[in-house]
Structure formats: C-alpha cells, structure tokens
Structure 1
Amino acid sequence: MKIGEAARRTGVAAHVLRHWHASGVVVPDRTASGHREYTEEHLRRAHVVRACQGVGMSLPEIRAVLTRDDASRAEVIGARLLRIRAQRAGLEAAERFLEHVIGCTHDLLTRCEACTEYARTSPHAATGGAPAGRPAADGA
C-alpha cells in the first residue's frame, strides 16, 4: 500500500512515516518507480514504534529494541524500566502527599512536618520547586 493508506491505517501522518523510514525504524519496500510500498508487517512495526514512543523511548532506542540481536537491546529496555519505576515511585509519593494535604489540620502547610518533609525530599526541590523545564510559580 502507498504511504497515504499506511498513514491512515497507523494513525500517524505521512511525514512521520517518512521520518521513521529515514531513522531506520520502519523501512518500507520500494516499487520499481521508487515509491514507498508498505506491507502489513510494516504496519505492525509502526504500531510497535508508537507503543514504544508511548513509554518514552526515542527512535534510536526503538531501533535497538526492534532487533532481538542488537547488543544494546537489554540495556535500553532495562534503563527504560528503571525510569518507569522511578516515575511510579515519584507519583506514589506525590499521591501520598496530596492525600495528606487534603486532611491536614495545620493553618499553613509550612507548619506541618509531613508536608514540609515531602517538599524537602521531592525531586522538584532541587529545581527550585518546579519540574524540569517549567518555571517556578510566584507566590506558591
């Protein structure tokens, strides 16, 4: 099938498929006239690429993961699992903090040891209170 149909069936734009081709993660066949020709296998591969992107993998990481005999495959997957586990732990800590704040009886959160302990130990404490890439809000 042509790139337009492949784009429609995978839910990504044609320019994304061209980029994936250039990056080596989904490399379609070529017709005699040089047009990209996608097969069902290419579509399955595109869906796997989208799933990998959904868990935060970059195209170079995905390229390593897609090939079972790539030497860095296990390392890439292991590193991604560690990041996911760290994110999960951070989200669980944030959830515990917010659940505490809902019932906190202190007139100011800064007077609550549990609230300030979370603030001291949260990953955002080292960035001035804002997640990486976001400015700290004034008056917080």
Structure 2
Amino acid sequence: MKSNATSWSIGEIADRFGLGTHVLRHWEDVGLLNPVRSGAGRRRFDESDVVRVAVIIRSKAAGMSLGQIHALLDGQVADRREVLTAHVQDLDRRMDEMAHSRQMTLHALDCRAHDIATCPNFAAGVADILARTTPPSA
C-alpha cells in the first residue's frame, strides 16, 4: 500500500513500528490513539499519531502501564505529575536492582566457588532479601 505525505494506514504504521495491527486497534480501544477515518471508514494516522505511537512504545519499554501512559498523554497536569513521580521512583528502584544484579553477576563470573550459592561474597548479595523474608516453620 502506498502512503501519501500526510497520512498512513494502520498496516503502514504497524509495519513502521514492528507492531501487529491488533495492538494499534487495542490502543485505540483504550483511548490512547484516535486516528481520523477516511470516507471509507479506514483509519488514517497523521504525524501526531505517529509521535503518540512512538511515545507509547517508549513508555511501555520503560515499564509504564497503558493506564499510566493514558495519564501521561491525556491526563490533567496533577494526574500526570503523580504518575510520572511514581514512575521515576519505580525506575530508580529497578535501576538499583539492576546495578545490584550486575555486581553479583560480575562476581559470579570470577568466583572460584564450585557452587556459587555457597560463596560468602555472593551470598552477601542476597542478604537484603533474606532479611525481609520469614524463615519457614520447622
């Protein structure tokens, strides 16, 4: 299908972003997209729709739910700030976890212990998890 310079079909947008057309239809159903319709009733995406799709993809990759993305794109300023503040806190938590996991993985690469779980240095990496769990009853 050939696109013109101002709008694209759902198939063209799906191909451009490597998505299934059902994904774009779902995002439309939940209110994230609102493409215009041609005289024949077909969806036509303009440049602003293309940017919204890119924002949705990036936001999902960052771990945001569709509800959070809706607030980001269409919410009131207070709702947007609340969602974004919570998301930054979640990103910080996940980045800390990733850094911790990376440190443990790098240690495991060089550790001489046959069973990595018996290495005191490696075990120290899970001490925080062990401290917040309750041991099973005997």
TM range (shorter): 0.7 to 0.9
Tell me which amino acid in the other structure corresponds to 2:127.
R
Q: TM-score by structure 2 length?
A: 0.74
Map 1:1-140 → 2, pairs under 5 A? 1-67=8-74, 69-104=76-111, 109-110=117-118, 112=120, 114-122=121-129, 126=133
Gaps of 5+ in 2: 1-7
Gaps of 5+ in 1: 129-140
Tell me which amino acid in the other structure corresponds to 1:49.
I
Structure 1 residue 104, shift from structure 2 partner: 4.7
Q: Is the 8 A contact 1:21 1:27 kept in 2?
A: yes
- RMSD of the alignment, in Å? 2.8
Structure 1 residue 30, shift from structure 2 partner: 1.5
CA 1:5–1:127: 2 relative to 1, 3 Å: farther
Q: What is the aligned partner in structure 1 of residue 3 from structure 2?
A: none
CA 1:127–1:97: 2 relative to 1, 3 Å: farther
Identity %: 29
Q: Distance in 1 between matches of 2:108 and 2:14?
A: 46
- Determine helix, strand or coil for the equivalent of 2:89: helix
Aligned length: 126
